[in-house]
Amino acid sequence: MVAELLRDFVAGPWLDDLDLERMERQNAKFHAETGKRREGDMIWRIPRRDGGDTYLVLLLEFQSTSYHWMALRVLVYAGLLWQQLQDEKRLLPDGRLPPILPVVLYNGDRRWAAPLALHDLVGLPPNSPLWQWQPTVSYQIVDEGAFAEDDLAKREALLALLFRLESSPDPEQAVVLADALLAWFRRHPGFERVRSVFAELLGAVLEPLAPGVRVPEELLEIRNMLASRAEDWKRQWLQEGELKGRQEGRQEGEQMGRRQGEAAILLRQLERRFGALPGWASDRIATADTVALEEWSLRVFDAASLDDVLR
């Protein structure tokens, strides 16, 4: 799946130089802030066809909004990783540091808006001579939500199905995705461990829809349960929507009746105090809200004129 991420979502001409079939996950020992790696972030060693290695730094941002200082975090990660490689003497044959490829995978609701390069976080005028001493680093962002559903549906990659599943689909769409997952696994035997992960993810979609019901652990059973209950959920949501509409309508009617009653009382008070009302005064009372009507009713007793009441 990490190889798919590079091929389908980070692709570039440089990819031909990387032997993705021999990539290996590494046990990184650091964290950008505390000296240890963040849980979930991954380091992969990818052999290059011309000799040496490239290190993929994959940072997982599974939160609702983008992280403004990501370019700075990438810089710190790069420094710590290079320090570890230098300490372990895993350098290029000529003694230099191996290159690093930073990729950020983000699945938040809002689109990624953080600067992609450290250059944009440094406060210097464009023509400052100090730029020559500032560190430079940038990263590749893969924003799951930036890909249209139609675009993802056309892709063969399992990762595209993951992106679609993480977009919180409704039950009917979840059934379609479950069918697509089952078809993918039929075309690609030997992915039992990954299949169980997707069953767990699909079960997470089902769980809040069926509280108290045991969620199956097998992908096909989850798919069948989603399919069998989709119509019941749709009918239930329609009934809840109708009930909510009736309640809102009743509340709105009560508020309108209250406003009309207060307007009628105010008209009688004003007519008794000032006589027949001019058209502009009646129109203003007819369009006023309850807050204004209540305030005007209190002014009737002390006001010297109609203007003083309705000012």
| Least confident window among 41-55, 174-188, 295-309 | 295-309
Q: Phi, psi (5° rounding) for residue 245? A: -65, -40
Return the higher-pLDDT residue of 117 and 225.
117
Quickly tell me which residue has 């590749």 as its tokens. 140
Return the higher-pLDDT residue of 103 and 282.
103
Spatial contact of 33 and 80, defined as CB atoms under 8 Å apart = no
Spatial contact of 43 and 58, defined as CB atoms under 8 Å apart = yes
pLDDT digits (tens, 9 = 90+) for 28-86: 776 655 555 566 688 999 999 988 999 999 998 888 888 999 999 999 999 999 999 99
pLDDT digits (tens, 9 = 90+) for 189-224: 888 888 888 888 888 777 766 666 676 778 888 788
pLDDT digits (tens, 9 = 90+) for 116-169: 999 999 999 999 999 999 999 999 999 998 998 889 988 888 899 888 888 766
Query: Is residue 271's pLDDT more than 50?
Result: yes
Question: pLDDT value at position 135?
Answer: 94
59 exposure class (CB count in 10 Å sphere: 0-12, 13-18, 19+): buried
| Least confident window among 12-16, 28-32, 81-85, 170-174 | 28-32
Query: Residue 162: how many CB atoms within 10 A of its CB?
Result: 22
Domain boundary assignment for the chain: 2-123+132-147
- What is the number of alpha carbons within 13 Å of residue 44 lying toward its C-beta? 22
Q: Averaged over 231-244, what is the pLDDT?
A: 56
pLDDT digits (tens, 9 = 90+) for 245-255: 566 656 666 67
Spatial contact of 223 and 175, defined as CB atoms under 8 Å apart = yes
Query: Is residue 237's pLDDT more than 50?
Result: no
Residues shown for the chain: 311
In SS3 terms, the chain reads as CHHHHHHHHCCCHHHHHECHHHCEEECCCCCCCCCCCCCCCEEEEEEECCCCEEEEEEEEECCCCCCCCHHHHHHHHHHHHHHHHHHCCCCCCCCCCCCEEEEEEECCCCCCCCCCEHHHHCCCCCCCHHHHHCCCCECEEEEHHHCCHHHHHCCCCHHHHHHHHCCCCCHHHHHHHHHHHHHHHHHCCCCHHHHHHHHHHHHHHHHHHCCCCCCCCCHHHHHHHHHHHHHHHHHHHHHHHHHHHHHHHHHHHHHHHHHHHHHHHHHHHHHHHHCCCCHHHHHHHHHCCHHHHHHHHHHCCCCCCHHHHHC
Question: pLDDT value at position 223?
Answer: 81
Query: Are β-strands 53-61 and 100-106 bridged in parallel, bridged antiparallel, or unpaired?
Result: parallel
- Residue 100, both tokens: 């690093």
Q: pTM for this one?
A: 0.68
Question: pLDDT value at position 17?
Answer: 93
Confidence of residue 238 (pLDDT cuts 50, 70, 90): low
Query: Residue 32: how many CB atoms within 10 A of its CB?
Result: 21
